[in-house]
Amino acid sequence: MPGGPGKLGKPKKVRSFWKELPILVIIALALALLIKTFLVQAFSIPSDSMQNTLQRGDRVLVDKLTPWFGSEPERGEVVVFHDPGGWLGETQTTDSGPVAEGIQKALSFIGLMPSAEEKDLIKRVIAVGGDTVSCKRGGKVVVNGKPLDEPYIFPGNTPCDEEPFGPIKVPEGRIWVMGDHRQDSRDSRYHQNLNNGTVSVDDVVGRAFVVAWPIDRWSTLPVPGTFDQPGLGAAAAMAPSAVGLAGALPIVLWRRRRLIAKVRAEAEVRPDRLTADC
């Protein structure tokens, strides 16, 4: 009979797991590559320059998304950036063998390990474009006239005794960076022969926001409270206002003199008019 059981099509054959596995792997790799390129990437800490905030061998996750929307590094953030030129000139590469090297390249391609070929550094942003930063021997780091209390500095270190600096005006579009382990960090202080030690925001890969590995060291990397103190950004923010005020003051005084002269002239014609309101 038409439409009877004999007309039913054959049931579709379920594809085996082993045939679907390559497709799943390809999709997973594509997603991982997409995440690495635009969202988050893992980086390994290669030195002691950020102790005790970060230890050698820690894996941090770096936010690469916000720079795509025009966000620039802010004071207090821990950022990863490309070598501005010669900062890692003395770094020696180690031969880990072809197998280990192949595994690292594969994992770094999808963002699960840092690339051995990339020359990246990780430091804390101390000052941004428009800021004036300095530090005298025996004193604190000063940004726009505000001394910083830096509890994140490695115990026993001083803010800058081994390499005092400044005052330095940070150009727009650049940042001044320092390691938390001040006595073991070749940071902006030691590269003032190139752009006064500042780093272009275009070289910044992103902000490190969490320590993801090892598990017992899991923690977030918030901006320390010292960078939230009132008036820290006042120097840069007040500059345009000060210029505007200086330009407006003569106009205000001129108008006031004209108003007073007008009131006095009218008072001579009408002596009964009150003039105290001028």
- The 3-state DSSP class for residue 257 equals helix
Burial label, 248 (beta-carbon count in 10 A; 0-12, 13-18, 19+): exposed
Please give the structure tokens belonging to residue 82: 């490309």
Please give the structure tokens belonging to residue 263: 């009131």
Q: Which residues are catalytic?
A: 49, 123
Which among 146, 144, 140 is positioned nearest to 160, based on CA atoms?
140
- In single-letter form, the type of residue at position 152 comes to Y
- The 3-state DSSP class for residue 210 equals strand
Beta bridge partners of 169: 132
